Amino acid sequence: MIKAKLRATFFALSLPLLLNATHILKDDILKPEVSKIINTIGDELFTKTGINGYVIATNEHFPVGFNLVEYSKRYSKQMTQPFVLFIFAPQAKITLKSEATGRVGLIPSSKEIKSLYDYEGVMDSAVGVVSVQDKNTPEDKDNIGVLQAFSELADNIASSKGVELENTLPNETRKVVWVLKVLVYFGSLFVLWIFILRPLYMRIKNGKQ
């Protein structure tokens, strides 16, 4: 009984220190206001679920096939289990044949933690923002993408634990991103039809005549 009280007292005393710990392990790209929101979401997630959420936002130029799991071990001393780590690396090489860059990773501390979130949904939250062609700068889109994905991750975990977070992004924001993705997709199809498929169809049609 005494030991239980001591543990409870220790947790109560250490909680403020844990909440003041940063959830961003490496930051090369995030704006101060975005970092603040991420830490606020991370604090609330830990308070309500006991699970730590961490972010690495790096401009390191990772080569093709770079092992993000091994890379994450460099930060193991800065993470407290149970946790999930979100890695955003916009300068990472994807393939040898392409100049395209950008990798996203999700690394949980256990299979149990992995089961608490939708992997594809969280990844899409980041990639969907970054890939949209709009007037935002690459830096702005990277910031929005990281925040969107971390918010989605936190909401997923909270929902699995039966609690609701108050500091994550509203669903309306996610719907706007989804609509933008759909518009870009159909816009690409329209361009493809006008400049490639339609002329080809007309040539074939006229050739038969």
Q: Over the stretch 73-107, which tens digit does the pLDDT of each residue have? A: 999 999 999 999 999 999 999 888 888 888 999 99
In angstroms, how far is CA 133 from the centroid of its own chain? 19
Q: What is the band of 6 on the pLDDT scale with cuts at 50, 70, 90?
A: very low
Bridge partners for 171 per DSSP: none
The answer to whether residue 70 scores a pLDDT higher than 90 is: yes
Q: What is the mean pLDDT of residues 152-168?
A: 96
Q: Which helix (H) or strand (E) holds 141?
A: helix 138-160
How would residue 12 be classed by pLDDT, with cut points 50, 70 and 90? Answer: very low
Q: What do you get for the CA distance between the two ends of the chain, in Å?
A: 93
Q: Find the length of the chain.
A: 209
Residues 6 or more apart whose Cβ sits within 8 Å of residue 137 = none
Picking from 48, 109, 50, the residue whose alpha carbon sits closest to that of residue 83 is 109
Read off the tokens for 110. 């256990």
How far apart CA 119 and CA 111 sit, in angstroms, is 12
What tokens appear for 25 in the block? Answer: 């392990």
**Which pair of tokens denotes residue 208?**
């038969």
Region 29-55: mean pLDDT is 96
Which pLDDT belongs to residue 208? Answer: 54
Pairing between strand 83-93 and 52-57?
parallel
Whether pTM > 0.75 for this model: the answer is no
Are 64 and 32 spatial neighbours (Cβ–Cβ below 8 Å)? no
